[in-house]
Chains A and B, each alone.
Chain A
Amino acid sequence: DTAVSQTPKYLVTQMGNDKSIKCEQNLGHDTMYWYKQDSKKFLKIMFSYNNKELIINETVPNRFSPKSPDKAHLNLHINSLELGDSAVYFCASSQEGWDTGELFFGEGSRLTVL
């Protein structure tokens, strides 16, 4: 069973479109995250939710809207896609107040905006 699963794995779309990425974790964790990894491998946090409540909201354009229907799911919707949004988006989860720094990452959703 995959611990953190994201769909879709690949998205190719045109500028200006809207797209969503879904994430589910079956680890029973309370905290979920969205990270963005750019072409230079920089991994940067975008959002963090704890028990469906938004905890961290980095300086992310408001075209990005996360949504957590329950603590096992965290989705990311992106409006009006731009070229600079091309990246790999990782969902992750952890225990609340992790004690070993362990985040469990999904395999990533590779977004290409043309």
Chain B
Amino acid sequence: QKEVEQDPGPLSVPEGAIVSLNCTYSNSAFQYFMWYRQYSRKGPELLMYTYSSGNKEDGRFTAQVDKSSKYISLFIRDSQPSDSATYLCAMSRYQGGKLIFGQGTELSVKP
């Protein structure tokens, strides 16, 4: 069993839809949780960062962490074609520590 599980998709939604992306993990020691976005043929870039449990909102993006369930989510409101990318969750046990990535979910937002 991988430490971090993520449904690879692909996920296709119409423009304007609310998108929900999820990861589960097995290591309860993870405390730092991130979402990276990767456009085709590019390197990943940090989208959201959360420490421990709770929610964090940034514009159309909301990250949620439920440590009791070992489950993290990324919500995208009013999705746009420019949101089409692969979204990778990542997590670490301690600050500055090794990032463990999920497989990534490929998202396509159709106009």
Q: In the complex the two chains form, is A45's CB within 8 Å of B98's CB?
A: yes
Q: Given the complex, which residues of A lie within 8 Å of B41, measured CB to CB?
A: 107-108
B96 at the interface (CB under 8 A from A): yes
Question: Secondary structure at chain B's binding surface: helix, strand, loop or mixed?
Answer: strand
- B side interface size, CB within 8 A: 24
Q: Given the complex, which residues of A lie within 8 Å of B33, measured CB to CB?
A: 101
Question: Secondary structure at chain A's binding surface: helix, strand, loop or mixed?
Answer: loop
A27 at the interface (CB under 8 A from B): no
- A side interface size, CB within 8 A: 24
Q: Which of A69-97 contact B (CB under 8 A)?
A: 90, 92, 96-97
| Cβ of B95 to closest chain A Cβ, rounded Å | 6
Residues of A within 8 A of B (CB): 4, 40-45, 48, 56, 90, 92, 96-108
